[in-house]
Chains A and B, each alone.
Chain A
Amino acid sequence: MGTSERTSTSRLARDVAAIAVAITAVGVSFGAIATAAGLPAWLVCAMSVLVFAGGSQFMAVGLIAAGNPVAAVLAGLLLNARHLPFGLAIAGPVLGGGRWTTLVGSHLMIDESVAFALAQPDASARRRAYWLAGGTLFVGWNAGTLLGVALGGAAGDPGVLGLDAAFPAGLVALLLPSLRGVEARRVALAGAALAVLTTPLLPAGLPVLLALAGLAALALPLPPRREAPC
């Protein structure tokens, strides 16, 4: 490993650790909330291991507590459908190789592992970032869940720590290198605007998928460059 590679790996490890702390804290809150909602402790822990997608787990627990497990499954799946295009996008550089790489690596696919991979400049760095982020966050999420189940009502609200602001800010920071080009920025902004505007109207998960319509912005001609007045 060259010196610059070692520097970038240690910077990557530090960045992943920052998000891992936040994810662990949210995991504590998930464990506590799910237990309070009446789910058996072992099922709460199994859910974090097997589903490993925080947003859908919170939503499913809410709907299960409301007595509607069918809706919990459907709403959770709608929220998680975005992983299919994620897989299409990162499969080549990140999850190519043996069968086990594909089977295990696919389970580590979450928003943050995809974002960390996309933020890297080349295929080997993407691979390293994906596995480091996915593996670390898997451990953090499940350790947090376990702790939350144990603490129960004694676990605090992560909103007090402002963690709900940390995740979107971290995602944007990881996305900026991918959005250097004018076209990429236009597509992402159009998609994000579309998702925000349709959120009050559509079930959760659908607005984010609808953002892909932002790709249509690519078909529009670029605005003509204005000549600088002399």
Chain B
Amino acid sequence: MLIVAVLLLAAGTYGFRLAGVLLAGRLALPDRVRRMLPLVAATLLAALAATAALTEGGGFAGVARPAGVLVGVVLAWRRAPFIVVVVAAAATAAALRLAGLP
């Protein structure tokens, strides 16, 4: 039973992945829509980043994680190298947790 669940999840997930790629080659999308597709992906990723930064299981994510992400975003905005952004975000969240913040 468990293996069926895992296989269904795997097959469905792969189906979503492949469907988008195949549809892109077959749908006759107007140029205006085609040009917007990268913005569609960017908007989904922005929403994903925002919900991952601020929420946990439908509630608020606490203090440490949003603060860490905020530090990373400010650094990214100031054009800091990617690795600095990622490490600073993690270090900030880790330090705040060490200090006892949720």
- Interfacial residues, chain A to chain B (CB-CB below 8 A): 14-15, 18-19, 22, 39-40, 43, 46-47, 50-53, 56, 60, 64, 69-70, 72-73, 76-77, 80-92, 95-96, 102-103, 105-107, 109, 111, 114-115, 118, 159-176, 178-179, 184, 187-189, 191-196, 199-200, 204, 207-212, 214-215, 218
Known: A56-B9, A165-B64, A195-B51. 15 other contacts (CB 8 A): A18-B82, A51-B10, A76-B13, A83-B13, A85-B44, A162-B94, A165-B92, A168-B49, A168-B72, A169-B68, A169-B69, A169-B89, A174-B82, A178-B38, A204-B58
Are A118's CB and B87's CB within 8 A?
no
Interface residues of B, count at CB 8 A: 72
Are B18's CB and A103's CB within 8 A?
yes
Are B43's CB and A211's CB within 8 A?
yes
A211-B47 contact, Cβ under 8 Å, with A50-B6, A56-B13, A162-B94: yes
B66 → chain A closest CB, angstroms: 8
Residues from chain B with Cβ under 8 Å of A207 in the complex? 47, 51
Are B54's CB and A215's CB within 8 A?
no
Residues from chain B with Cβ under 8 Å of A84 in the complex? 16-17, 19-20, 23
Interface string of B16-37 (1 = CB under 8 A from A): 1111111111000000000011
Residues from chain B with Cβ under 8 Å of A187 in the complex? 39, 43
**Distance A159 CA – B38 CA, assembled complex (angstroms):** 32
B78 → chain A closest CB, angstroms: 11
A86-B93 contact, Cβ under 8 Å, with A18-B87, A189-B46, A211-B43: no
